[in-house]
Amino acid sequence: MNRRDLLKGAGAALTLGVFPFPLAWTAPDLAKRKKFLMYSRSEGFEHDCVRRKKPGEMSLAEGIVLEMGKKHGFDVVCEKDGRVFLSKEFPTFDGFVFETQGDLLKEKSRDNTPPMTLDGKKALLDAVASGKGFVGCHCASDTFHSKGDRRKEQEAKDIDQYIAMLGGEFISHGPQQKAWLRVTDKKFPGAEGIDDFQLHEEWYSLKNFAPDLHVILIQDTKGMVHHDYARPSFPATWAKMHGKGRVFYTSMGHRDDVWKNDVFQKLLLGGINWTVGNTEAKLTANLNEVTPMARTMPPSAPKK
């Protein structure tokens, strides 16, 4: 943990989106500034957006979230060391931003950092349940997989507790391609003024959706190429409650140009602020209403 001071102050000067943000999202009183932990340990695969290219230099995603904090009145600590969840500093965080991958309890990782422990995982879930905010991007759903067949939905008892908190789980993905996202709630923080849009991205096929999801963006699978998307449309971005805590997840966030995209940044900032109560939203469980066939699983790869 001796890198914390360096990581807290680092970050490139990045130009954020052109969308205006409500003034209420910037805390005017420094004593009330929220503090986020951005955690990006990668066990089996390290996404380029969270890779630190040089010692002491932040990744692209970390730099963008750090810059968001500077511009909009919240503090960010970037970390890959799993010991942070049992550290003295952990209780001081108001929220968490995850772009993680794999089993975070495993000793080895792509970034050669110490693992989270079972007690650390419990501390995280307990913190969110008690009222802390949680924001998951892209591979946050490819973290702590549930028991059983990856291409089948699990019974509630077999869903990993982290996945149950997040609200959905990664199955697989096909080739990167352009696809449509349909906006279901244009009043959710960050979604104001955004219409349905098309984006080139690595799209996740997802399962094990929590029944209380408030779906914000739908993955429109019509016209998508690959068997992983041979299924009805399903949630791609959502909000939910976990106990007293607010949870926001978006499947976007693989490509560097997506992290630099104005719409993605606007949605991410809205989610960040909503999870810690800087702005409000009305949540309704709309999974069955807007994506009634979301639990239809994609087929396995065709036999050659």
pLDDT the model gives residue 22: 40
The predicted pLDDT at position 190 comes to 98
Regions of the chain with pLDDT less than 50: 1-30
Q: Give me the pLDDT at residue 15, please.
A: 34
Average of per-residue pLDDT values in the chain: 91
Contact 198, 178 (CB under 8 A): yes
Shortest CA distance to 203 belongs to which of 187, 223, 221? 221
- Both structure tokens of 25: 């999202």
pLDDT of the residue at 56: 85
pLDDT of residue 111: 94
Pure H helices in 11-151? 60-72, 118-129
Whole-model pTM? 0.90
Q: Which residues pair with residue 242 across a beta bridge?
A: 245
Q: Is 149 exposed, middle or buried (0-12, 13-18, 19+ CB in 10 A)?
A: exposed
Contact in structure between 100 and 41 (CB atoms under 8 Å): yes
pLDDT given at position 73: 95
Q: Which domains does the chain have, with CATH numbers?
A: 4-290 (3.40.50.880)
Query: What's the CA angle centered on 113, arms 60 and 50, to 5 degrees?
Result: 15
Host H or E run for residue 288: helix 287-290
pLDDT score for 32 = 82
pLDDT confidence of residue 302: 82
Residue 17 has what pLDDT? 38
In tens, the pLDDT along 52-75 reads 998 889 999 999 999 999 999 999
